[in-house]
Amino acid sequence: MSFLLANYHTHTMRCQHASGEDADYVEAALKAGYQVLGFSDHSPWPFSSGYVSPIRMSADRLDDYIASVHDLQKMYDGRIRIHLGLEAEYFPRYHDWLERMRDRGISYFILGQHYADSEEDTPYTGNECVTADGVRRYTESTVRAIRTGLFAYLAHPDLFMRHRTDEQFDAVCGEASDMICQACLEMHLPIEYNLLGLRYQLEGRSRGYPSTPFWERAKKYGNTVILGVDAHAPAHLDGPDIRALALERLHTLGYPVIDRLPMDQDY
């Protein structure tokens, strides 16, 4: 099986913090040599409280998102394989809603546990995890999500390091790493090495992941790893040097790296 250049972690401007038209991402992927592009914008939720999120697509834009990706699949058929997915948290109170997304044509979910329960009434994980209790809440909610079996892989597993430095990776962070990696191992769920975080680090911008102590500690579990561009702009798909650096680091640590999800095993 030949190496497949694929990215399953791609956002759109509907999430309110990304830029570029949907077709721009496809064109950028083609220019960079990608054979597979998966759209996985931040999932909307039917918040029962009426809360309106400023950092994800609204529920009334879901139809447009689905239609746009389906149109792109037809438009670029034979040139690049395009998938329709969502990056989603696991909110137990909305479990049934997430399940029903399969009926809307969503073919995969990436787990990005940005909130421990629901965005409408809990703080952002990155902020909350500056405390030990926040790290524990993130870990418990992430492990619960992993064990649902709903997700294709875990995005930025070291998200709890968002506002921590490597020197602030303490015993609680170590326990979190162990619990998350063990759960992923038991569920055969790959973990993501996040290339947007790496890009920002190389640019000198503050972002605590990928976290060196996390990846050094986690290597003892031998989790399967997948690269995720986490594209929030078409230009993010053009990063061969960043991808090469990530692969070098992972291979040095001895991680098994996969280049595709099961739906592309026939490629």
For 23, 130, 220, the CA distances from 33, given in Å and listed in that order, are: 15, 39, 33
pLDDT at 1: 61
Please tell me the predicted confidence (pLDDT) of residue 85.
Answer: 98
Q: In what order do the strands lie in the sheet with 257-258?
A: 6-10, 36-42, 81-88, 108-111, 153-154, 191-194, 225-228, 257-258
Which residue, among 27, 25, 79, 34, has the nearest Cα to 243 in the 3D structure? Answer: 34
* Paired tokens of 82: 């395009």
pLDDT of residue 179: 98
Alpha carbon distance, N-terminus to C-terminus of the chain: 9
Say if CB 118 and CB 97 are below 8 A apart: no
Q: Write out pLDDT tens, residues 128-145.
A: 999 999 999 999 999 999
**Ordered structural domains, the chain, with CATH:** 6-264 (3.20.20.140)
Give pLDDT, residue 207. Answer: 82
- Report the pLDDT value the prediction gives residue 118, as an integer from 0 to 100: 94
Residues of the chain where predicted confidence (pLDDT) is lower than 50 = none
Q: HEC profile for 210-250?
A: CCHHHHHHHHHHCCCEEEECCECCHHHHCCHHHHHHHHHHH
Cβ-Cβ contacts under 8 Å for 100 (sequence gap 6 or more): none
**Model pLDDT, residue 60:** 95
